[in-house]
Amino acid sequence: MAFDFGSESGQFSLKSLRCLMEHKFFFSDLRIGYEWNGWVPIKVNFVAWRLVLNRLPTAVNLVQRNINIPDTRCKVCNEEDESASHLFVACNFAQKVWDFVVGWCRLGPLFYP
């Protein structure tokens, strides 16, 4: 039995299925793609993918989907609305986490917007 998963041989493989899913289903209408990273856990890849697509269930995204949220402020710092960019970049706590990661990896300093 032959499958059309984008492979020349017609044989099923996970690589050909992944390529089919990435190119035909997920990224056909996107200008930006996401490359899965093999050395991090799949759940981290999944969160990063949803972050790129702005599909994380942040307070701002939930309100945009007509879900009633009494307070959209960040629950960590209570300074700004809880958006993906705030949670992963602008929040003071996120900046401290990134500074720790950068120091642990012995990289140069990060500059935040």
pTM attached to this predicted model: 0.62
* 14-26 pLDDT tens trace: 676 666 666 655 5
d(CA 76, CA 97): 13
> Given pLDDT bands bounded at 50, 70 and 90, which one contains residue 75?
very high
- Contact criterion met (CB below 8 Å) for 30 and 24: no
d(CA 84, CA 11): 40
Burial class (CB in 10 A: 0-12, 13-18, 19+), 85: middle
pLDDT at 34: 60
Domain boundaries, the chain: 1-33, 34-104
